Amino acid sequence: MSISTSIEETLTSLEKEISVADLGSDEAIEEFRIRFLGKKQGSITGLMKRIPDVDPADRRAFGQRVNELKAVAQARIQKAQVAQGPGVAGTSDVDYSLPGRVPARGSLHPLTETYRLITRVFESYGFSIEEGPEIEDDWHNFTALNFPPNHPARDMQDTFFIEQPTQKHDGILLRTHTSPVQIRVMLDSEPPFRVIVPGRVYRNEAISYKSYCLFHQVEGLYVDEGVSMGDLKHILHVFARELFGEDVVMRFRPSFFPFTEPSAEVDIWWKDDNMPGGGRWLEILGCGMVDPNVLESVGVDPEKYTGYAFGMGIERIAMLRYGIDDIRILYENDERFLSQFD
Ligand code: DAH
């Protein structure tokens, strides 16, 4: 099989032209492409169009030669483009001028953000972070914290029991607050104690816009010689200023917790011009001086040591800070909500 001499000559001269063409600039490359491979008038394109007209005996060999030529021309273009460098629109499949793709970036959950903010304030005052188990026994969760045996909080309405307490065995439950970690910390070492305890707690409550079956608390405990209610007020004032601004207005309101005496709740003044009176008091935490009975239950001498404790709900503070009015949205992982916290 041989291709007719005239076609052979055309192919050879094209081959030569392709191999010697100067592709030293973007324009030259583009000219070369149009001349040989252009859709309408490119000479190689022209030859390809002629394949069906070639004598069947020669067609195969001819087609092969033309394809080889095309490959050589394309290779030259590619090589020349690389040599020219990036950024040449129209001469490359890659448009280097397009903006890059920004990878999707996660963000901290508002609860994590709030938790970090809270713990950072106390860490800067020398508190260390402790953690305790979420599955707790009745003794740590209630008894050691001076809950009388028939206190309403022990009621099954509030507590998820894993094992009911019996005459012989202590009950096992999902902790209802982070306060049992106070007991674990004090049993574990010697005073002074200065800890904060973040963690998840569980309550068997009806789920609504303001309560959920699980939530998060941060507990604080400081026990040493001569710790006073004045120290408690000071640290909580510092804390409130850090979280709600320098001019935050707060008040201590007498309250009751079995494990503190005296006990108080702290409210902050929430300014709202749309409300009658220009705002309202909002409770942010419970606190008090550690009850001597609690110190005794862990073998700390209440004649020598005094201490304060406090506990707050992280959800509540996050909701105040971010103006969230339904607690459930914090657990739904709805991206439309979460992406607002970038
Ligand atoms: N444990 C209490 C609760 O879950 C909060 C609390 C109040 C913790 C007073 C304290 C405290 O340490 O002193 O509602």
Question: Residue 294 pLDDT more than 70?
Answer: yes
Looking at ligand 1, which residue's alpha carbon is closest to its atom 2? 311
Predicted local distance difference test score (pLDDT) of residue 144: 96
Predicted local distance difference test score (pLDDT) of residue 148: 85
Residues whose beta carbon lies within 6 Å of some atom of ligand 1: 177, 179, 219, 257, 260, 286-288, 309-311
286 versus 153: which is more confidently predicted? 286
Distance CA 32, CA 79 (A): 13
Question: Residue 87 pLDDT more than 70?
Answer: no
Closest by alpha carbon to 219, among 172, 259, 187, 276?
259
Residue 311 alpha carbon to ligand 1 centre in Å: 4
Q: How far, in whole angstroms, is CA 252 from its chain's centroid? A: 34
Q: Where are the domains of the chain?
A: 5-83, 110-341
Residue 90 alpha carbon to ligand 1 centre in Å: 69
Any idea which residue has 């460098």 for tokens?
A: 85
Which tokens in the block code for residue 43? Answer: 């000479």
Predicted local distance difference test score (pLDDT) of residue 156: 62
Atom number in ligand 1 closest to CA 308: 13
Alpha helices, H only, the chain: 5-20, 26-32, 43-50, 56-84, 110-123, 138-141, 180-188, 229-244, 292-297, 314-322, 335-338
**Given pLDDT bands bounded at 50, 70 and 90, which one contains residue 1?**
very low
The stretch 259-270 carries a mean pLDDT of: 95
Looking at ligand 1, which residue's alpha carbon is closest to its atom 3? 177
CB 83 within 8 A of CB 318: no
CA dihedral 179, 183, 185, 189 (to 10 degrees): 160
Q: To test ligand 1's pocket by mutation, which of 136, 175, 306, 310 has the most ligand atoms within 8 angstroms of CB?
A: 310
Question: 2-53: per-residue pLDDT in tens?
Answer: 567 777 888 889 999 998 998 888 889 999 999 999 998 899 999 998 888 8
Distance CA 309, CA 303 (A): 18
Predicted local distance difference test score (pLDDT) of residue 6: 77
The stretch 61-84 carries a mean pLDDT of: 89
Residue 332 alpha carbon to ligand 1 centre in Å: 27
Looking at ligand 1, which residue's alpha carbon is closest to its atom 5? 311
Predicted local distance difference test score (pLDDT) of residue 91: 58
Neighbour-count burial for 116-129, b at 16+ CB within 10 Å, e otherwise = eebbebbeeeebee
Looking at ligand 1, which residue's alpha carbon is closest to its atom 6? 311
**Given pLDDT bands bounded at 50, 70 and 90, which one contains residue 272?**
confident
Residues of the chain above pLDDT 70, percent: 96
Question: 172-202: per-residue pLDDT in tens?
Answer: 999 999 999 999 999 999 999 999 999 999 9
Atom number in ligand 1 closest to CA 179: 1
Q: To test ligand 1's pocket by mutation, which of 259, 261, 267, 315 has the most ligand atoms within 8 angstroms of CB?
A: 259
Atom number in ligand 1 closest to CA 178: 1
Average pLDDT of the chain is: 91
**Given pLDDT bands bounded at 50, 70 and 90, which one contains residue 157?**
low
Atom number in ligand 1 closest to CA 221: 12
Rounded to 5°, the CA angle 89-92-93 comes to 110
Q: Position 285: which residue type? A: L
Predicted local distance difference test score (pLDDT) of residue 92: 64
Topology, domain 110-341: BirA Bifunctional Protein; domain 2 (3.30.930)
Distance CA 144, CA 291 (A): 11
Residue 264 alpha carbon to ligand 1 centre in Å: 10
Atom number in ligand 1 closest to CA 259: 13
Question: Residue 342 pLDDT more than 80?
Answer: no
CB atoms within 10 A of CB 277: 6
Classify residue 145 by burial, with Cβ atoms within 10 Å: 0-12, 13-18, 19+: buried
Distance CA 67, CA 286 (A): 84
Looking at ligand 1, which residue's alpha carbon is closest to its atom 12? 310
Residue 110 alpha carbon to ligand 1 centre in Å: 22
Q: What is the DSSP string of 9-77?
A: HHHHHHHHHHHH----SHHHHHHHIIIII-TTT-HHHHHHHHGGGS-HHHHHHHHHHHHHHHHHHHHHH
**Given pLDDT bands bounded at 50, 70 and 90, which one contains residue 85?**
confident
Q: To test ligand 1's pocket by mutation, which of 287, 294, 308 has the most ligand atoms within 8 angstroms of CB?
A: 287
Q: To test ligand 1's pocket by mutation, which of 219, 267, 291, 308 has the most ligand atoms within 8 angstroms of CB?
A: 219
Looking at ligand 1, which residue's alpha carbon is closest to its atom 7? 286
Closest by alpha carbon to 317, among 254, 267, 264, 249?
267
